[in-house]
Amino acid sequence: MEKETGHAEVLQIEFDPAVITVDELLEIFWQTHDPTTLNQQGNDIGPQYRSVIFYHNEQQKARAAYFKKKLDEAKAFPAPIVTAIEPFTNFYAAENYHQDYYNRNGSQPYCYFVIRPKLEKFEKAFKDKMKK
């Protein structure tokens, strides 16, 4: 449980900046979740569902802060952005039953009604960045 660990449900992304930039990854991040709800994503509630960017270097920190500020100034979302920008410390892989969850449970209601639309939105917006 998050209450015991302090963990957030996140992805750790390893990338080649010659293929995809930090700015492009941030664009994906802002478009595929709600950065305006504190400790919540949809019906999932709790601090493990907080919106957070864990940066690995000062460039990532600066770019994340820049986009957050610009999006807030432009009122890109209906409420202020609450996304935290924090230094990376540790990453812990999820338990095995969480690994590849959508591919193993895609017909379950949560996957079908919550995850699938997000994946479709992602695939449409970032088709040129996806592996063939």
The mean per-residue pLDDT over the stretch 25-31 comes to 89
Residue owning tokens 């960045």: 129
What is the structure's pLDDT at 46?
Answer: 75
pLDDT at 4: 67
Which one-letter amino acid corresponds to residue 11? Answer: L
pTM of the model: 0.81
| pLDDT given for residue 2 in this prediction | 45
Q: Provide the sign of the torsion angle of the four alpha carbons 104, 110, 113, 115, taken in this order.
A: negative
Quick one: 2-92 is in which CATH superfamily?
Peptide methionine sulphoxide reductase MsrA (3.30.1060.10)
Q: pLDDT over 90 for what percent of the chain?
A: 34
CA nearest neighbour of 35 among 77, 87, 86: 77
Does the pLDDT of residue 130 top 80, yes or no?
A: no
Q: How do 52-55 and 84-87 pair as beta strands? A: parallel
pLDDT for res 132: 60
pLDDT in tens, 35-84: 998 887 777 787 788 899 999 999 999 999 999 999 999 999 999 999 99
* Mean residue pLDDT across the chain: 86
The residues of the chain that CATH labels 3.30.1060.10 are 2-92
What's the Cα-to-Cα distance from 42 to each of 7, 31, 34, 81, rounded to whole Å? 18, 14, 8, 15
Q: Tell me what pLDDT residue 115 has.
A: 85
